[in-house]
Structure 1
Amino acid sequence: MSLPAAFGHPLAATILTLAVSAIGGGAAHLIGLPAGWLMGGALAVTIAAMLGMPVSMPDRLRDVIFVLIGMSMGASVAPDSLSLLASWPISLAALALELVIIVAATGWMLTKVFKLDPGTAYLSSFPGHLSFVMGIAATGVGNPRQIVIIQVIRILMLTIAVPIGAVFLPIDHFAPPQAAAFLSPLQLVLLALGCVAMGLVFIWLRVPAGMVLGAMAAAILAKLGGLYSEAMPIPLVVLTFILTGALIGSRFQGITKTEFLAAAKGGLIATAMTVAIVTIVTLGVAQLVDMPFGQLWLGLSPGALEGMGALGIALGYDTAFIAAHHVIRLLMLSVAIPFVVMLVRWQERRAQESRNRVS
């Protein structure tokens, strides 16, 4: 029996995916890369998926990952997080500005340079809210396969770029604070139940990324409310990184090499443009706000919430700041995406009417 056939069962494929993430993450950790467990796992699973290895991440396990990320972010909130509130208007204004620049610049580039139709180009340019973007693409706007490839490249490259940048660039990063005490099994169970309950409420309210945001909100409120002060056990944090890396890499499942290569160049250039825009905006904000550059960059970066949140934990930053900015980014995109899609459709109708008049 061949390897793909042997691991064809979903459970076996899931175990293989997690094993690949653990091996890749462990290797990256051993050579000393920041956030090695996360970045190495994501890269290893991505390579495995592109080589045709069966990769699986069941929806229920994905929800468990979201809950663990939310718990970890809540437990990592700095006690003085609320003191940063005064600086948030500046960074939030910068966030809104950079979203406009990213969508306009990368959408224009994908349309003019790579000749993508406007629907595909602009849905590919939105920095986040992938489920919403793909939902709109499913209604007939753009090419869903090209959109998902470009969007997944963005998520993967940001996850890899931040730890590497922390090694080679003058970006402050810190070892996560050494905890004096860890949550007991009973505390973990109670916190998890609260996170799941809040996540289900967020899903019922149709909040974007409801499970992870709900879990994060419950854990942060409990921490700031004084219900607990202990940290997450280190093995559980490492497990969370391994699972998150597997989740990021598994998004390449079902994408053929031909499809990947066809969209990869545009995706890589769009991601590079996005990183450059975020970096320039962050440099400007850093002149006005007394905060580590890396923390500002993660808050303003357009990566997936779960990936950026996990990186914030691994690099020792205040996760409350990072989480709040990603929540606001999702809300901004919830308004911006339908508006831009209406503009694209209006332009397409005008172009079609013009062609009809000519003919």
Structure 2
Amino acid sequence: MGKAGGTSPADPLELWWRPRILGLTLLTLTLSALGGLGATALGLPGGWIMGGSLAVTVAAMIGLPVRMPVRLRDIAFVLIGMSMGTTVASDSLSLLASWPISLMGLVLEMVLIIALTGWMLVRVFKLDPGTAYLGSIPGHLSFIMGIASAGVGDARQIVIIQVIRLLMLTICVPIGAMFLPVEHFGSAAPTTTLSWGELLALAAACVALGLVFMRLGVPAAMVMGPMALATAAKLGGLYSGAMPEPLVIIAFVLTGALIGSRFAGITRQEFMQAALGGLIATAMTVGIVTVVSFGVSRLVDMPFGQIWIGLSPGALEGMGALGVALSFDAAFIAAHHMIRLLLLSFVIPLLVVLIRRRQGLSEGAATAATLPPAQG
């Protein structure tokens, strides 16, 4: 529903080229870009999307008229889906045969984190299933935010919970390694990027499948369609490069602006509820990772710290750099994080379908309860 006196931040009927709407859109995008730049400069994980969403969130909460037109939202969705698919390693499936015990621990950990933290957020904080379970997913922040922004769960509460998770995990890993001589982080290895021809062809195919998914009624179709196609094409060997970094940054700036604009009108009570839930969910996540990592370390001949970093659902670049600094097996850490993201690429759509089905059953039961008894 739109706010009094105007359209909602993503009203499909608005004329985005009108001077006032264009000005507010540029203001929102500028705030998102500045926030993302600041967070990235501070070395925060997922800095562009986290910093951008927080900057626009603060602006919305202090009353600035932030706005994100629906057409820009759709562009952001397509870019998000493409970026998730292109970051999947082409040999991820072959890595499943390696390190079987730790990979079983990874799967167990993901199930426990999503099930237990999602259950806690529903039962204790009374969040709806979409908000609770998307808030509990350990990774794929931009994909989760795209789905939430498309109408699954409350994007404003999900972003608070997820941002707290990333921040707290970033703090917990260095604290856990304080007794080790860590003085610097290694730089990320260079990667090839898609050519313009490959990029345009992939984008066209992603948009086409997104429109097909939309016609079929698939939730968050313009995110899921591009993600599914880009992932399948990457695993099928049709391309090997990644999206150009500037394009990925643009996607994150757009997503940060979109998510932050959803905070317009949020109450302090709503924020505090989500923030407390995020802290408890993060504590549960750290506890589950620690217990599972300890169990795996009893069965394999590996350092506990290496297993913990490999299984920790933090940012890939941050965890990988820390592993290099601690002289751990970088291939082990990178493989486990990439496999986690690969598994989540399939788990998230399934989870969204289950959430929608559960919501449909609940709404059906509520409707049936309000109907008068049939006359016999």
Q: TM-score, normalised by structure 2?
A: 0.67
Note the C-alpha offset of 1:332.
Answer: 3.3
> Residues 33 and 167 of structure 1 are in contact (CA less than 8 Å); yes or no, is this contact kept in structure 2?
no
Alignment of 1:187-266 (within 5 A): 187-253=198-264, 255-256=265-266, 260-266=267-273
User: In 2 relative to 1, CA 209–93 (structure 1 residues): closer, same or farther, beyond 3 Å?
Assistant: farther
1:212-248, Cα deviation, whole Å (9 max, x unpaired): 1211121122222222222322222222222222222
Query: Which runs of 5 or more structure 2 residues have no equivalent in the other structure?
Result: 1-17, 136-146, 321-333, 370-376
Task: Provide the residue aligned with 2:113 in structure 1.
Answer: 98
- 1:9-88 paired onto structure 2 within 5 Å: 9-86=20-97
- Equivalenced residue count is 307
* Contact kept? 1:39, 1:163, Cα under 8 Å: no
SS in 2 for 1:127: helix
The question of 1:154 aligning with 2:161 is answered: yes
Counterpart for residue 276 of structure 1: 283
Distance 1:238-1:150 versus aligned 2 partners, 3 A rule: closer
8 Å contact kept, 2:165–2:281: no
Structure-2 residue corresponding to 1:144: none
Equivalent residue letter for 1:56: R
Q: What are structure 1's unaligned runs of at least 5 residues?
A: 1-6, 112-119, 135-146, 300-310, 351-359
Say which SS state the counterpart of residue 110 (structure 1) adopts.
coil
**Would you say the 8 A contact 2:130–2:152 is kept in 1?**
yes
Cα deviation digits, residues 243-262 of structure 1 (max 9, x gap): 22222222212x24xxx212
**Per-residue deviation, 1:189:** 0.9
Is the Cα–Cα contact under 8 Å of residues 89 and 338 in structure 2 kept in the other structure? Answer: yes
**Worse-superposed segment, 22-31 or 84-93:** 84-93
Please give the per-residue CA displacement for 1:266-295, whole angstroms capped at 9, x wherever unaligned. 222212222222233333444549986566
DSSP-derived class of the 2:134 partner? coil
Q: Is the 8 A contact 2:289 2:308 kept in 1?
A: yes
What is the deviation of 1:169? 5.5
Inter-CA distance 11–325: structure 2 relative to 1 (3 Å threshold): same
Residue of structure 2 equivalent to 1:357: none
For 1:282, the aligned partner's letter is: V
Which residue of 2 is the match for residue 178 of structure 1? 190
- Cα deviation 1:73-103 (Å, max 9, x = unaligned): 2222223211344556654454344333224
Q: Structure 1's 44 and 281: CA in aligned 2 closer, same or farther, altered over 3 A?
A: same
Moved more, 312-321 or 42-51: 312-321
Whichever residue aligns with residue 73 of structure 2, its letter is R
Relative to 1, partners in 2 of residues 1:188 and 1:339: Cα closer, same or farther, differing over 3 Å?
closer
CA contact (8 A) 1:152 1:252 kept: no
Q: CA deviation at 1:178?
A: 0.6
| Separation (CA, whole Å) in 2 of partners of 1:93 and 1:265 | 31
Percent of aligned pairs with the same residue?
36
Q: Alignment partner of 2:189: what SS?
A: coil
